[in-house]
Structure 1
Amino acid sequence: MNGAHTLLQALLDNGVDVCFTNPGTSEMHTVAALDRVPGMRPVLCLFEGVATGAADGYGRMTGRPACTLLHLGPGLANGLANLHNARRARTPVVNVVGDHALLHKPYDSPLESDIDALAGAVSGWVRRTRDVAALGSDVAEAVARAEEGQVATLIVPADVTWEHTPPQEAVPAGPGTFPDAGEDRIAFVLATGEPTVILLGGDATRERGLRAAARIAAATGARLLCETFPARLERGGGLPEIERLGYLPETADAQLAGARHLVLAGAASPVSFFAYPHRASDLVPEGCDVHQLLGKGVGSPADALEWLAGQLEGIGAPAAPELPRPERPGRPTGALTAESAAQAVGALLPEGAIVVDEANTSGLWLPAATAGAPRHDWLALTGGAIGQGLPVATGAALACPDRPVLCLESDGSAMYTLQALWTQAREGLNVTTVVFDNRAYAVLGMELRQAGGGERGGALFDLSRPPLDFAALAEGMGVPAARAATADEFGALLERGLAEPGPFLVDCVVPRVV
């Protein structure tokens, strides 16, 4: 049996048979093992603070520990307040936190954090398991320490749950260790015409950087990509449309395939969000040289791109490259799907809008559908910790009261911070929220299938029992709302929300993409 099976069986052997959880990719093999270890009762919670509070209540009433299963540092951080209460109550709790695989940690991927420090604030005992051979005894000690009346936190790297034998911890060179050749060297590389990808981040995803990057691409044939989740990407209205690096490593591999050079303009060297068995964490293709653009201190990434474009004028970098004429999609009719909803957004997005994107799997068609819309800003899920959308939209509306804010939110993520709707109502903020209601953590269902999971684990990502009524939830917090079940209804409600001042929510009922 693998480490995930060992983990669950060891918990059962030590009297822990209830697990309150909101898991993610690093815990997926443990979820998959539920079908092979039927004695463990998993209980899905829509926020980690609910999971940790439920474990506290269970322990107070039974006198024995339940366990939690939390996702990395952000998941633990979301549960800290109720772990603090459990600590003060001297409740027995076994707090299991999944971490990145040991081989993945040196790459500092977006969800990397200091889990040990976070856990130490609320735990009487903390241990990090480093190989599967120690997992059973570490679980036994965690349960024993919890039964003394404290929170015992066991940190389990993902590859410990994969392995049948102890994994070897290694510290690869990792991204960022490449030599810094400077902008003049990069100009030479670009001028050679060898296959090159320029990866944009920072202020390179704003207008100056985008236009300079487009000039460079027109002169050299370099391909342009931007970070998977840019903090602020200016789009539409005749700006260059930049493809985002794929979230899935298979997608990113295809985008970077054949590159001989990778130029980083305000972006970090690309790594996968998570580790997977038998896959490298570093996404840079073999034989590809990585160049950091800011080698001479010429300023910001946008400044450096403008300097490079000027250096390349001799080989044809145009002052203003011709860009495709922006075109909006037609307003859709008929069935409401994630794709037709994206077409409606593209057809109706107003000038100057701020789009906050946490649509996740339902957002796959949004970039293409909105490329021809009027000028707007796109704010993405930078660190990968879900629950960002509604609060970020609230802050953006306060910062820019004269601009419409459109929050594109997935249903699972919405439940993390739904209280932001109340603040929007209280402050009268001009935010239109679209909840893509597919009644699932769809991306995690996909990850579970890759990990070999079955029906019991899959139930943890099903949000249909009972179904959530987002229109009623919004109304209960003072935000007008309505549900759309067809593309025609969705277009009409979206148009209404964007036209009326103040907050409005559309419950957009769509089938699962994945």
Structure 2
Amino acid sequence: MNGAQALIRTLVAAGVDVCFANPGTSEMHFVAALDDVPEMRGVLTLFEGVATGAADGYARMAGRPAATLLHLGPGLGNGLANLHNARRGGAPVVNVVGDHARSHKRLDAPLESDIDALAGAVSAWVRRSLAPADVAADAAEAVAQAARGAVATLVLPADVSWEEGAEPADPVPVRPAPRVPEQVVADVAAALSSGEPAVLLLGGDVVACEEGLLAAGRVAAGTGARLMSETFPARMVRGAGLPDVAKVPYPPEMAMASLAGTAHLVLAGATAPVHFFGYPDVPGTPVPEGCTVHVLSAPGEDGVAAAQALATLAAPDAEPRLLEAARPELPTGDLDPRALAAVVGALLPEGAIVVDEALTSGVGLAELTSGAPRHDWLSLTGGAIGDGLPMSVGAAVACPDRPVIALQADGSAMYTVQALWTQAREQLDVTTIVCDNGSYAILEHELSRVGAQGDGERAGQLLHLGGPGLDFVALATGMGVPATRATTAEELADQVRAALAEPGPHLIDAVLPGRR
């Protein structure tokens, strides 16, 4: 068989059976080989950033890698932003990037570029298959590397893909996440028993499952430590019956206030918090001066087991305080971000997957959905906006029996709006609510926060989305997604109910102050 056939068979044997693709000439033998390996599901995207963002969302929900198929260096370049988000969130992704045939590379063809260098910016592992006999073993190693919570990129020259002489390879065993030493757990338990103010900061695997959250809740109940999570955890299980975990706020002033007075900051699956940007006369981290930072578990370690061991040692008889089932009342009148959040909280179905790229329109979302039925929450981990719509594609492919609700800011929606077409083509059960305030509101806040000065008018032209305004109903329907527009809380509630009741994708343009 040829290299492409061996590659795909090896990926499937290793558990990678979905490929989000935007192929070109160099990848045509991979495309043709899909007919020979029906176990691999190919999902076409109209932009590489959709393919990489979908692979990110898939990995977060499936707990295993999807593949992407990208065309040469420019195709990989188009997907880098959402690979950055995947890397920051520890999502396992396998990129297959086609390259020129080996004999053609030396001719410096127009699409020639340094693919290896581009891939290295976002990948923990990069390899170039140099012969058909190598490609299957390289693919198996790529899956094993990605399974550790990383982006792995395999560069596949076109002739390696089409030449015969390849055979599938067996999967490479994946080592389990390393356990945290008992002494580390004991040291953290001693710090928490000091009686000094402490925060248990959760992230990674600890917030992605019920077991980790309940163990952390026991520690909090038994020691008095406060529970908090990373600002943007990759995946967080939430809802009634789980501990209430507040996120470290995004604005620096609020983040510093949330940790003020903390003497011990314990990291469980999280990294020490830092502000997204540097600001004049503001420290780079919200961790207060004099606070001791303890690492219970680092990303990549078994944080759930560490949290359970800490609970047994520091709080053996404690019971976690759990959220009771509660929903906000449905609001009435004009829409604003808090009314939108109340509608979501009131109608959120059990088992939903919420993909959150609401950004500045997310006011009240955490509060008003905390007591809703159990659900998963996916966040924008790396700050590269435009991940929300693609992530909803990947989450829906990974969990076809669960409704996906994408809370999407209007400006960042336009980075990867092509994801709507893939939702329609695959008939994915995604309800997208566009938070339509007609501006890059987050940049309006940042303009003043960094102390930048200007006359206001010309700067405002770079932050406002009017002239012409964006018509999300027309954009969605033009790509095959049924769409409606809501200007009141009642309209939004009616449209959310209707969308959730009918299979397939839907979009609701929620018109907020600023646009009206």
TM-score (norm 2): 0.64
The Cα shift of 1:247 comes to: 1.1
Determine the structure 1 residue equivalent to 2:14.
Answer: none
Determine the structure 2 residue equivalent to 1:182.
Answer: 184
CA distance in 2, matches of 1:342, 1:75: 26
Determine the structure 1 residue equivalent to 2:342.
Answer: 343
SS in structure 2 at match of 1:293: strand
Determine the structure 2 residue equivalent to 1:463.
Answer: 465
The Cα shift of 1:89 comes to: 8.5
Determine the structure 2 residue equivalent to 1:449.
Answer: 448
Q: Are 1:290 and 2:289 matched, yes or no?
A: no
Determine the structure 2 residue equivalent to 1:209.
Answer: 212
Which of 257, 260, 269 in structure 1 is aligned with 2:260? 257
The Cα shift of 1:323 comes to: 2.2
Cα deviation 1:305-331 (Å, max 9, x = unaligned): 1101100235xx42x324242210011
- Aligned-residue Cα RMSD (Å) equals 2.9
SS in structure 2 at match of 1:421: helix
One-letter amino acid of the counterpart of residue 248, structure 1: P
Determine the structure 1 residue equivalent to 2:366.
Answer: 367
1:109-508 counterparts in 2 under 5 A? 182-205=184-207, 206-294=209-297, 300-313=302-315, 317-318=317-318, 320-450=319-449, 451-453=452-454, 454-508=456-510
CA distance in 2, matches of 1:283, 1:208: 28
The Cα shift of 1:255 comes to: 0.7
Q: 2:223–2:315: 8 Å Cα contact kept in structure 1?
A: no
- Structure 1: stretches of 5+ with no match in the other structure: 1-46, 50-72, 79-86, 91-112, 116-179
Cα deviation 1:139-188 (Å, max 9, x = unaligned): xxxxxxxxxxxxxxxxxxxxxxxxxxxxxxxxxxxxxxxxx971111101
CA distance in 1, matches of 2:268, 2:321: 22
- Structure 2: stretches of 5+ with no match in the other structure: 1-46, 50-79, 86-107, 112-119, 123-181
Determine the structure 1 residue equivalent to 2:37.
Answer: none
Cα distance change, pair 378–340 in 1 and its aligned pair in 2 (3 A): same
Q: 1:48–1:76: 8 Å Cα contact kept in structure 2?
A: no
The Cα shift of 1:231 comes to: 0.6
Cα deviation 1:107-150 (Å, max 9, x = unaligned): xxxxxx959xxxxxxxxxxxxxxxxxxxxxxxxxxxxxxxxxxx
Cα deviation 1:330-358 (Å, max 9, x = unaligned): 11111111110100000000010000000
One-letter amino acid of the counterpart of residue 360, structure 1: L
Cα distance change, pair 349–298 in 1 and its aligned pair in 2 (3 A): closer
Cα deviation 1:437-487 (Å, max 9, x = unaligned): 000000101111232342211210100111101011000000000000111
Moved more, 339-348 or 448-457: 448-457
Q: 2:221–2:315: 8 Å Cα contact kept in structure 1?
A: no
Cα distance change, pair 370–261 in 1 and its aligned pair in 2 (3 A): same
Determine the structure 2 residue equivalent to 1:511.
Answer: 513
Structure 1 residue ranges, 4+ long, deviating more than 3 angstroms after superposition:
73-78, 87-90
Q: 1:232–1:377: 8 Å Cα contact kept in structure 2?
A: yes
Aligned length: 348
Q: 1:233–1:379: 8 Å Cα contact kept in structure 2?
A: yes
Moved more, 275-284 or 334-343: 275-284
CA distance in 2, matches of 1:348, 1:261: 39
One-letter amino acid of the counterpart of residue 500, structure 1: E
CA distance in 2, matches of 1:88, 1:484: 50
One-letter amino acid of the counterpart of residue 395, structure 1: G
CA distance in 1, matches of 2:254, 2:241: 27
Q: 1:442–1:512: 8 Å Cα contact kept in structure 2?
A: no
CA distance in 2, matches of 1:204, 1:240: 12
The Cα shift of 1:386 comes to: 0.4
Cα distance change, pair 76–433 in 1 and its aligned pair in 2 (3 A): closer
Identical amino acids, percent of aligned pairs: 56
CA distance in 1, matches of 2:187, 2:287: 20
Cα distance change, pair 338–88 in 1 and its aligned pair in 2 (3 A): farther
Cα distance change, pair 227–75 in 1 and its aligned pair in 2 (3 A): closer
1:20-59 counterparts in 2 under 5 A? none
Cα deviation 1:487-514 (Å, max 9, x = unaligned): 100110011111110000000001159x
Q: 1:198–1:263: 8 Å Cα contact kept in structure 2?
A: yes
CA distance in 2, matches of 1:202, 1:249: 22
Q: 1:181–1:292: 8 Å Cα contact kept in structure 2?
A: no
